[in-house]
Amino acid sequence: MDGQKQSYYINIQSNEIFRRPHEGEWNFKIEATESQVYVLERLFDKNDETDWESYFRSHIPYLEYHHQPQNREYDQRIILIYTMLFYLGDDKTRAHIREMGILNEDRATIQHKSF
């Protein structure tokens, strides 16, 4: 069953993945296997952890954002998440992500090969 793709609905702001469109608000529709959704869930989980770390670190005034390695990792994970959504998404999802301009085609092509 893992190789069979199903529809999933993604809320990127809340990092939620729904199996049915009426379960909650969503931004992107994808067709994915269970293992692909598992990878996406782990990326969301890791970003949640980084969000909390950044929140606590933000209270230390001498630490700048761009000097923190976890912030670079967070940014890279965001690109990976959008790359996954682009390649697993329906036409509307891909068009929306293209309009955002968050991915360049070369990066998306390279990262797609690992899916």
- Tokens, residue 18: 């729904």
pLDDT score of 115: 45
Greatest Cα-to-Cα distance within the chain, rounded to the nearest angstrom = 51
Q: Tokens in use for 95?
A: 């068009």
Most confident of 19-23, 76-80, 109-113: 19-23
Q: Which tens digits make up the pLDDT trace of 38-83?
A: 999 999 998 877 654 555 455 556 656 555 555 678 788 899 999 9
H/E stretch holding 55 reads: helix 34-57
The answer to whether residue 114 scores a pLDDT higher than 50 is no
**Domain parsing of the chain, residue ranges:** 6-112
Residue 100 clears pLDDT 60, i.e. is over it = yes
pLDDT at 76: 86
Structure-derived torsion over alpha carbons of residues 56, 48, 65, 28, reported in degrees to the nearest 10: -150
User: Is the predicted pLDDT of residue 97 greater than 60, yes or no?
Assistant: yes
Instruction: Look at residue 65 in the predicted model and tell me its pLDDT.
Output: 53
